[in-house]
């Protein structure tokens, strides 16, 4: 990727975090999961699934933010198509979050139970 493209892409990530409240929640959740993983000393293969789950959620939320912004530009008034577009886009984030939650439960719950 050209240097200038990288700069725009980093600005895009910053803007998604700035504009979308859910993105801030995902970032905080990611930090909590990473610190919990370090604390519970999870295995390399488990880190791979955790990193994959985090990446899928952040990518979905970033694209969802872009789609929401495009929709707001295209539809100034309430519109059934705008509603569908935003709900479908949110649905992608929900699917990614369900996947991440399942990965988190499979990896962390047995470890937390044996920890106490
Ligand atoms: N122009 C519109 N016309 C019809 N319904 C809309 C419109 N804009 C938003 N909505 C509805 O309101 C919901 C929330 O839209 P909003 O733009 O507030 O997104 P958001 O709160 O950032 O959502 P998310 O939690 O998915 O990030 C949408 O999923 C959709 O159902």
In angstroms, rounded to a whole number, what is the distance separating the alpha carbons of residues 70 and 19? 13
Per-residue pLDDT at 5 = 85
Per-residue pLDDT at 115 = 73
Please give the ipTM for the structure prediction: 0.89
Instruction: Please give all residues whose beta carbon lies within 6 A of any atom in ligand 1, as ranges.
Output: 22, 68, 75, 78-79, 82-83, 86-87, 90
Per-residue pLDDT at 1 = 55
Which domains occur in the chain, in start order? 3-115 (1.10.287.3610)
Task: Tell me, in angstroms, the distance from the centre of ligand 1 to residue 97's CA.
Answer: 18
In angstroms, rounded to a whole number, what is the distance separating the alpha carbons of residues 37 and 52? 14
Per-residue pLDDT at 2 = 57
61 is a catalytic site residue: yes
In angstroms, rounded to a whole number, what is the distance separating the alpha carbons of residues 20 and 68? 10
User: Nearest C-alpha to atom 9 of ligand 1 is from which residue?
Assistant: 83
**Sign of torsion over alpha carbons 71, 74, 77, 82:** negative
Task: Tell me, in angstroms, the distance from the centre of ligand 1 to residue 110's CA.
Answer: 37
Per-residue pLDDT at 79 = 97
Q: pTM for the whole thing?
A: 0.90
* Residue pLDDT tens, the chain, 116 long: 556 689 999 999 999 999 999 999 999 999 999 999 999 999 999 999 999 999 999 999 999 999 999 999 999 999 999 999 999 999 999 999 999 999 999 999 999 898 77
Give, for ligand 1, the residue of 72, 77, 86 to mutate: max count of ligand atoms closer than 8 Å to Cβ: 86
Tokens 């700035």 identify what position? Answer: 18
Task: Tell me, in angstroms, the distance from the centre of ligand 1 to residue 79's CA.
Answer: 11
């Amino acid at each position: 990727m050209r240097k200038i493209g990288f700069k725009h892409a980093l600005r895009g990530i910053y803007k998604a975090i700035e504009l979308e409240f859910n993105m801030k929640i995902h970032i905080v959740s990611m930090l909590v999961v990473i610190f919990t993983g370090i604390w519970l000393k999870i295995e390399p293969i488990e880190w791979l699934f955790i990193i994959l789950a985090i990446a899928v959620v952040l990518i979905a939320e970033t694209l969802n933010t872009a789609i929401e912004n495009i929709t707001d530009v295209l539809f100034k008034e309430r519109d059934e198509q705008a509603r569908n577009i935003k709900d479908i886009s949110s649905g992608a984030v929900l699917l990614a979050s369900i996947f991440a939650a399942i990965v988190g439960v499979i990896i962390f719950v047995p470890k937390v139970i044996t920890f106490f």
